[in-house]
Amino acid sequence: MESPGSDSSKSAQHPLMGRITALDPAHSAD
């Protein structure tokens, strides 16, 4: 998949995932 830290790519594919990443530091660190 995309490199870790590609939040923009993740948000484009999964808007909810983007929200979770922003809210969850664990996911953000991933």
Write out pLDDT tens, residues 1-30.
555 555 555 545 666 666 666 666 665 555
> What is the model's pLDDT at position 13?
61
User: Residues 6 or more apart from 7 whose CB is under 8 A from it?
Assistant: 18, 21, 22, 28
Dihedral of the alpha carbons of 23, 16, 7, 26, in degrees to the nearest 10: 40
Cα–Cα dist 5/2, whole Å: 8
Q: Write down the pTM of the prediction.
A: 0.17
Other CB atoms within a 10 A radius of the CB of residue 19 amount to 11
> What is the model's pLDDT at position 28?
52
